[in-house]
């Protein structure tokens, strides 16, 4: 297909697509003559992915580029997931409090989840806990354990659904799964909350 | 405390605080003379809450205002949760496909989660599913059920931790819980994914 059709199929404007080409986010098409190029389905898919990562996952274009580079160079889906997490967990600007750090350490011990030194997730979790506790809401070990137990099952089901034979394709799926399933899980969580709200509202009225 | 100390304690600038006062997001302090006002701890907490809702939950200021109005006027935490969800689920710009709508309807039937006509969550979930399926990743009923089962337990634990005696305070906690616990849950999910990645990486190497 030509550029005009690529724009139509992807829902993006021609200047935006040309920008992604210049920035190397989108691989070039097949050159036909000096000024025209042909594109195919893989370009449409790539553009949709870029758009989802910016619009749904809310990533900045520079982060999208890094994530896509990791996927393109991934030798296994394990590496792709790990690097996507690292890209998405910005370095801490403020150190977490000792209290939150201890809460996270105890939680990880109870869950038997070892994390190597330098992994950014435990620090990120401690900072998120600080952010809520300063609003006067206490984060209990029971709540964290409920999260840990629930997410253990969720992650297992998510990873089971990966096609792990083709590492390149699995890497892409793993990154999509890590980033783009989050809004689906968040919506299901709100649904579950509303169901409990409705149930307690009914019991209050009866 | 005076305005300068309020700024220091909340970490916000004086012009920002004055803007929130003008916009009615922050209740006025106690007037002392013609031009000065005294503020207290409740103002510090309110400013921290506004800041978390914009920075952590990523809400626009107009949405923050609506959510806070709902909390201030809430007669029960059930109403506060319901209205926060509605405020946060924008009306659909594009209708979901019939396929995604059917996937959601079957999921809700399996979970025995009835939703009244007009509730925005089922449509939002269907749109999120469309957004992923167009990238070539299939959303299976098994995955949705894993999400539903996990979130049922999570929501129960979250709501158990609410202090439901004072409706005003419970409403505030419910909204904080709905919006601000999401990043904590998302981080725990990434931790669970990495644990599985590390476990399968080890078994591959051994």
- List, for residues A103-154, the tens digit of each pLDDT value: 999 999 999 999 888 888 999 999 889 888 877 778 889 999 999 999 998 8
Which of B:70-99 have CB within 8 Å of A? 76, 78, 81-82, 85, 88-89
Under the banding of pLDDT at 50, 70 and 90, the label for residue B103 is very high
Cβ neighbours of B201 in A, within 8 Å: 76, 78
Which 8-state DSSP code applies to residue B58?
Answer: -
Cβ-count burial of B10 within 10 angstroms (0-12 exposed, 13-18 middle, 19+ buried)?
Answer: buried
pLDDT at B203: 61
Tokens 């009615």 identify what position?
B24
Left, alpha or beta for A92 (phi > 0: left; psi -120 to 50: alpha)?
beta
Determine the Cα–Cα distance for residues B47 and B16; give it in Å rounded to an integer. 10
Element (H, E) at A30: strand A30-32
Average pLDDT over residues A85-104: 85
Please list, in sequence order, all residues whose beta carbon lies within 8 angstroms of the beta carbon of residue A86, skipping any fewer than 6 positions away: A120
Evaluate if residue B119 carries a pLDDT over 50.
Answer: yes
Share of chain B above pLDDT 90, in %: 34
Determine the Cα–Cα distance for residues B93 and B107; give it in Å rounded to an integer. 23
Tokens 């096609």 identify what position?
A163
- Token digits of residue A5: 């059709």
The stretches of chain A forming alpha helices (DSSP H) are 3-10, 14-23, 41-55, 61-73, 77-88, 98-111, 121-133, 141-160, 167-205
Of B146, B155, B173, the CB nearest to A137: B173
Under the banding of pLDDT at 50, 70 and 90, the label for residue A206 is very low
Which of B:45-74 have CB within 8 Å of A? 45, 48-49, 52, 56, 58
- B156 part of contact set with chain A, CB < 8 Å: yes
A45 to B161: CB separation less than 8 angstroms, yes or no: no
Cβ neighbours of A46 in B, within 8 Å: none
**How far does A15 lie from chain B, in Å, by closest CA?**
22
pLDDT at B33: 84
Evaluate if residue B49 carries a pLDDT over 70.
Answer: yes
pLDDT at A14: 94
Average pLDDT over residues B133-156: 88
Nearest CA in chain A to B138: A161
Under the banding of pLDDT at 50, 70 and 90, the label for residue B93 is confident
């Amino acid at each position: 297909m030509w550029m005009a059709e690529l724009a139509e199929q992807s829902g993006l404007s021609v200047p935006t697509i040309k920008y992604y080409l210049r920035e190397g986010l989108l691989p070039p098409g097949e050159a036909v003559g000096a000024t025209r190029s042909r594109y195919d389905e893989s370009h449409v898919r790539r553009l949709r992915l870029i758009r989802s990562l910016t619009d749904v996952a809310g990533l900045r274009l520079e982060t999208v580029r890094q994530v896509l580079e990791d996927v393109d160079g991934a030798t296994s889906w394990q590496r792709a997931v790990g690097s996507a997490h690292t890209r998405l967990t910005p370095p801490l600007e403020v150190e977490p409090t000792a209290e939150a750090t201890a809460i996270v350490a105890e939680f990880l011990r109870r869950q038997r989840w070892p994390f190597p030194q330098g992994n950014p997730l435990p620090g990120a979790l401690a900072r998120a806990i600080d952010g809520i506790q300063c609003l006067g809401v206490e984060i209990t070990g029971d709540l964290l354990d409920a999260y840990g137990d629930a997410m253990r099952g969720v992650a297992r089901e998510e990873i089971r659904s990966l096609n792990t034979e083709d590492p390149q394709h699995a890497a892409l799926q793993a990154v999509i799964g890590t980033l783009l399933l989050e809004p689906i899980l968040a919506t299901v969580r709100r649904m579950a909350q509303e169901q409990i709200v409705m149930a307690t509202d009914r019991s209050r009225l009866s």
